A and B are shown apart, each in its own frame.
Chain A
Amino acid sequence: MLPEALNASLQKKISSAEHPRELVVDVMLDLQDHYGYLSDEALEAAASLLDLTPLEVEELATFYTFIYREPVGKYVIHVCDSVVCWMDGYESIQDHLCAKLEIKMGETTADGLFTLLPVCCIGYCDRSPAILVNRKVYGPLTPETLDNILVELRTEAG
């Protein structure tokens, strides 16, 4: 069940929209923030809030890069692997992350803190190699700066 407050805020947003379905990405992102990912329950909630079928929401949820249909960690790390980051050695950044977190790309650490995902050019080519952590950018990176970032995030998580 959706918490009362979240349900009310989504209802309010939707009722002020001229065409409710234009808010589908916003609604999915809000629900995802609450559940940690877009669970089946969240997907069905989105559909009923927007008067869409679950299938209509599903075809959007699985289409977009930043909607997660499977559980992810508290911090989703997107590693840019497009051409400029490639030129500047994203592969060593990716290898370092995998080694440090002891997971492969696409996996989540056992403590549920980190998920590693590849992503296409994030538009920070002046700071390559770059990554996003929960949509916040870091770069240019070296293995050393990467270690510091991981320490900071672990501290922040408590």
Chain B
Amino acid sequence: MYPRVLFKNRKPDRIASMEEYRASGGYEAMAHVLKNFSYKDVRKLMLDANLLGRGGAAFPAGRKVMTVADDAPFPRYLVCNADEMEPGTFKDRVMIHADPHMLIEGMIIEGYSARAEKGIIFIRPEYESAARILDREIEKATAAGYLGNNILDSGYDFDLVVHRSGGRYICGEVTAQLNALEGKRPNPKQPPPYATEKGLWGQPTVIQNVETLVCIPHIIRNGAEWFRNLALTETGAGTKIFCVSGKVNRPGCYELPMGIRLSDIIETHAGGMREGAQFKACLPGGASTAFLTPEFYDIEMDFETLKKAGHRLGTGAIMVFDHRTCLVAATLNLTEFFARESCGWCTPCREGFPYLRDLLWRIENGQGKEEYVSTIKQMCHHLWNAYCAFAPGGIAPIESLLTYFKDEVDAHIREKRCPFK
């Protein structure tokens, strides 16, 4: 058994109450920080702990806060990204339903390190139940003196609110999220300026993912070295919440050490492949990552190892496909997602994804031609010219389909039908 850190209070049917969170040592890290740490101490500790952003981009959390200049203006904001719209990803929902006060404490400490006075949790409308939990528990934390003015007589003020989205994938993108928060159409913006310099309402703003923030109290309590040692690999740090779905026996969220082998996650924790199903491929971190084939079945799941192998860990949402699943059809479905969710702001993305979807549809439905393959490649190449990271993410499954499963694509074209039907 591996240590459970983030899910230590997780229960099958209800949230951990504030009292239960406190009984497990909750809010001690915050009290300790407010009494004994400067904001710079917190930043350094996060950097030493090698805490990487868990929303998909893996940017060092400590370095992000450090880009808020010492003389940056006030007010400053901390935004918690709970938008979680990456297909296959549901860790933040499970985390909030398990232990909402861990997120609240993490935000207070992160807010302190950014010297922010207001925190905002940006949450997708599908997670209304999580939003209500947060509304209620924030009120309790405020009544307990953990939020509001002069927290625990430290002189530090921090308020926290929940912001409900109207629901679009692009709102998970940092700059689009800032527009959404300001009540504008959520188009991405191209930095500079970066959010930590001029973010929400033109003020310094730090944005972190739910899972990144909940790690923070534990790092404060146990130290940077302890956190790094939680991982099984040298390059990794901490635990990771893997969301496993698809053709496995026990789909769900599993908190496991960073660097655990993919095979171990699937076989030991997710209950193995469903009866009669053989592992064909998985997307390791949401729809914006490339297919991992059986040759990667034993790969160590951390950001650095996957990067070296030419892949991305993304959000750690492992969607498992079996030998009976057509990956042309799967890629068609993924591309439909990106075509529908493209915000429409820039031409390559707005026009490119529907075009790619149509070509994949034809191949899947027996109308494919050989030259479509090169057209798809060319169109994917164009999509690198899109305005934000949405399009390069969206073509990852398509490009990897052509790299690893070209035979399957060719069979569709040759036989003029889907061989899986």
A residues sitting closer than 8 Å to B (CB atoms) are: 19, 21-26, 28-29, 50, 52, 59-60, 63-67, 81-84, 86-87, 119-126, 128, 132, 135-137
Contacts and interface: CB of A to CB of B under 8 A. Distances in A.
A99 B191 CA distance: 49
A151 B129 CA distance: 23
Ranked 3 nearest A-B pairs via Cβ: A64-B166, A21-B183, A125-B245
A67 B180 CA distance: 14
Contact of A121 (B88, B182, B251): B88
Given A59-B185, A126-B251, A120 B87 contact: yes
Interface in B303-358: 317, 319, 321, 325, 329-330, 333-334, 336-337, 340-341, 343
Q: Which of B90, B93, B182, B287 has the most CB of A within 10 A?
A: B90
B181 interface: yes
Interface stretch (B119-127, B258-266, B409-417): B119-127
Interface of B: 84-90, 93, 124-129, 163-169, 180-186, 201, 243, 245-247, 251-253, 283, 287, 317, 319, 321, 325, 329-330, 333-334, 336-337, 340-341, 343
Contacts of A29: 164, 166
B183 A132 contact: no
Contacts of A66: 125, 166-167
A84 B88 contact: yes
A90 B84 CA distance: 21
Given A21-B184, A64-B167, A136-B128, 15 more contacts: A21-B182, A60-B185, A81-B336, A83-B330, A83-B334, A84-B88, A120-B87, A121-B86, A121-B89, A123-B93, A124-B126, A125-B319, A126-B90, A126-B243, A132-B126
Contacts of A84: 87-88, 245-246, 319
18 contacts: A19-B201, A22-B163, A22-B182, A29-B166, A63-B168, A63-B185, A64-B166, A82-B287, A87-B247, A87-B321, A87-B325, A120-B341, A123-B84, A123-B93, A123-B124, A123-B126, A128-B251, A137-B126
Contacts of B84: 123
A21 B184 CA distance: 8
A119 B125 CA distance: 12
Contact of B166 (A28, A81, A123, A137): A28
Contact of A135 (B85, B89, B126): B126
B337 A121 contact: yes
Contacts of A137: 126
B243 A50 contact: no
A120 B8 CA distance: 31
Contacts of B125: 65-66, 135
Contacts of B336: 81
A60 B251 contact: no
A79 to B, nearest CB: 13
A125 B270 CA distance: 13
Contacts of B89: 121, 123, 125
Contacts of B329: 86
A60 B90 CA distance: 26
Contacts of A125: 87-90, 243, 245-246, 251, 317, 319
Q: Which of A23, A66, A81, A119 has the most CB of B within 10 A?
A: A66
A81 B201 CA distance: 36
A65 B166 contact: yes
Nearest to A84: B245
A83 B319 contact: yes
